[in-house]
Amino acid sequence: MSDFVLILLVKGRVPFTERWLEYMSKINFKYKIALGNGNKKSDKYLKKLINKKKYSNLNIEYHSYNNQDYKDYYYMMYDIVRKQGKSKLIKFCDNDDFILPFQLENLIRLIKKDAKSVSVGDRCMWFSLTGEKIYNNKIYFWPDNFYRLSESFNIKDISKIFTEFQESFYNIFKKKYILRILKEIHKINFSDLEIRDFYLKLRLMTFGKTKFYNQISYIRQHGTSETSVNDFLYTKNFTTRNISGDLNNLKKYLFMNVEISNSSKNSMKNEIDKGYVSYLNNVITHNLRKVNKKKLFVFKNFLNKNFPNFFNLIRRVQYSKDNFLIQKQYYKDFKRFKSELKFVQIFLKK
CA pair distance 350, 180, nearest whole angstrom: 41
Of 126, 145, 136, 144, nearest to 312 (Cα)?
A: 136
* 274 inside domain: yes
Task: Check residue 34 and give its pLDDT.
Answer: 97
CA pair distance 76, 38, nearest whole angstrom: 7
Task: Check residue 148 and give its pLDDT.
Answer: 93
Task: Check residue 283 and give its pLDDT.
Answer: 87
* 112 inside domain: yes
Q: Domain count for the chain, please give it.
A: 1
* 144 inside domain: yes
* 117 inside domain: yes
Task: Check residue 193 and give its pLDDT.
Answer: 86
**pTM (2 decimals)?**
0.92
Task: Check residue 1 and give its pLDDT.
Answer: 47
Task: Check residue 231 and give its pLDDT.
Answer: 62
C-alpha separations of 232 from 73, 194, 223 in Å: 20, 14, 11
Task: Check residue 115 and give its pLDDT.
Answer: 87
Beta bridge partners of 313: none
* 296 inside domain: no
Task: Check residue 294 and give its pLDDT.
Answer: 85
Q: What confidence tens digit (pLDDT) does each residue in 148-187 have?
A: 999 999 999 999 999 998 999 999 999 999 999 999 999 9
> 305 exposed, middle or buried (CB, 10 Å; 0-12, 13-18, 19+)?
exposed
* 29 inside domain: no
Q: What confidence tens digit (pLDDT) does each residue in 33-76 have?
A: 999 999 988 999 999 999 999 999 999 999 999 988 889 999 99
* 5 inside domain: no
Main-chain dihedrals φ then ψ at residue 326, nearest 5 degrees: -75, 110
- Residue ranges of the chain whose pLDDT lies below 50: 1, 227-229
Task: Check residue 226 and give its pLDDT.
Answer: 52
Beta bridge partners of 210: 119, 151
* 143 inside domain: yes
Task: Check residue 208 and give its pLDDT.
Answer: 94
Owning domain of residue 203: 96-232+234-287+319-347
